[in-house]
Amino acid sequence: MESINAPASRPLTVHAATTPLAGAVAVPGDKSISHRALMFAALARGETGITGLLEGEDVLRTAAAMRALGAIVTRTAPGTWQVIGRGLGTLQEPDDVLDMGNSGTAARLLSGILASHGMFSVMTGDGSLRGRPMKRVTDPLSATGARFTSRSGGRLPLAIEGVADPAPLSYRLPVASAQVKSAVLLAGLNAAGTTRVEEPVATRDHTENMLRHFGAEVSVAPLGAGGRVITLTGRPDLVARDVAVPGDPSSAAFVLAAALLVPGSSVTVRGVGLNPLRTGLFTTLREMGADLRLSNERVEGGEPVGDLTAVAGPLHGVDVPAERAPSMIDEYPILAVVAAHASGPSRFRGLEELRVKESDRLSATVALLQRNGVTVDVVGDDMLVTGTGGAVPGGGLVETRMDHRLAMSATVLGLVAAEPVKVDDTAFIDTSFPGFIDLMNSIGAGLVA
């Protein structure tokens, strides 16, 4: 069913799994790609068909926003959507506030689109999103000529006076953020001339790939060790093109981690997106000794996809370099849970960006582990986890702080803890992984909501 709900709180007590996890499942569509598919289709001329769309609350907010901006957005079957756009520059002024719910990606990418159309709009979000930094996009976007007024600290609600003839930007990212890169590139779509973004560390490139798919001219060149320069030619004729959304590797992470930890398990997740700028967790898990097997590799909708099978076995601690962080930025909470169970110490370096996610994920992940008897420290921007080499003590209450990934990480921890783990609220899981608890139960997790 297509609905946007203000979620009522859903507490959960997780008991250790009593049998191995087993089976083959598919996870919902990639969140990053789903947002972009709806937005870019609304900017393109003609009718785009999208299959495998994530129908989580975050993406439904984007669908509603694109409708409010004049695109015809229709759900024709589960995961299958049709978007009819009238072409770049034709968006209409929304007649009410755009509520982006919990979604930073929706808010930040949309800022680039709204700034580059000659109209007035206001964006808001839930308690989590209203606390997140927006200056990282409004600062560079102001150079287009657009004007922004926000609450103190650059926080939502945000009023935007967009410009019909935005100046093209040339911008070097001060933080490794695909959302900021995308906001600048999207503003460049409606600008005459060339938009240029330098990223010192490569971040997920779904915007670049999908803009090309819709007919834009985007070139990417290497910059130093591991960076990139992206150039976009403004005012392309964006034409509707169908999009097949792969399974979200960031969602598959929870299922695969549970399978690695619950003794005797073997679980396959089919059709997982394997864009190399998203697979840092899988590299790291293999370095920890994980038996993670890839099969059926293929390219679908321009993105590499494959089936991943996780087989439980002993794991050891790992030292994750800071340069890897952008390719696994959403995966640190679940990696911390895996590291707590592995033998020996782990160190995850360069996690400053975790402080500005759906929650302050650095402090929230530390609290999640400490409440459950795991030794964990933060030194500068690094997290240090002391692995127990087996079941963690558990028995704690985890505060999920409106953060879906903390709720899922806490659930996985509970499956391998000596004492039951209480999760204060699992409702936010619906933002990215509707059906998570049912899916986990289908492989034998035995969760009772």
* CB of residue 60 to ligand S3P, shortest distance in Å: 16
Closer residue to ligand S3P (CB): 208 or 307: 208
Amino acid at position 177, single letter? S
Of 330, 403, 425, 430, the active-site residue reads 330
Q: How far apart are CA 436 and CA 425, in angstroms?
A: 14
* CB of residue 304 to ligand S3P, shortest distance in Å: 17
Closer residue to ligand S3P (CB): 105 or 400: 105
Longest dimension (CA), the chain: 62
- Order of strands, sheet of 343-348, starting from the edge strand that comes earlier in the sequence: 319-320, 343-348, 382-388, 375-379
| Residue 150 counted as an annotated binding residue | no
- DSSP classification of residue 427: G
| Residue 82 counted as an annotated binding residue | no
Q: How far apart are CA 305 and CA 282, in angstroms?
A: 14
CA distances from 245 to 27, 46, 283, 401, 447 (A): 11, 19, 23, 29, 28
Closer residue to ligand S3P (CB): 178 or 429: 178
| Residue 250 counted as an annotated binding residue | no
| Residue 181 counted as an annotated binding residue | no
| Residue 405 counted as an annotated binding residue | yes
| Residue 357 counted as an annotated binding residue | yes
Q: How far apart are CA 83 and CA 175, in angstroms?
A: 32
SS3 for 336? helix
Closer residue to ligand S3P (CB): 56 or 234: 56
Closer residue to ligand S3P (CB): 307 or 403: 403
Closer residue to ligand S3P (CB): 44 or 178: 178
Six-digit token string for 99: 């509520």
* CB of residue 253 to ligand S3P, shortest distance in Å: 12
Please check whether residue 63 is in contact with residue 41, taking contact to mean a CB–CB distance below 8 angstroms: no
Q: How far apart are CA 184 and CA 57, in angstroms?
A: 25
Per this entry, what is the length of the chain? 449
Query: Helical H runs in 75-219?
Result: 104-115, 135-142, 178-189, 206-213
Annotated catalytic, 330? yes
Sites of contact with ligand S3P (CB under 6 A):
32, 105, 177-179, 182, 204, 329-330, 353
| Residue 361 counted as an annotated binding residue | yes
Q: How far apart are CA 348 and CA 328, in angstroms?
A: 11
First to last CA, the chain: 20
* CB of residue 178 to ligand S3P, shortest distance in Å: 3
Binding site residues, as ranges? 31-32, 36, 104, 132, 177, 179, 330, 357, 361, 405
Residues with catalytic roles: 330
Binding site residues for 3-phosphoshikimate, as ranges? 31-32, 36, 177, 179, 330, 357
Binding site residues for phosphoenolpyruvate, as ranges? 31, 104, 132, 179, 361, 405
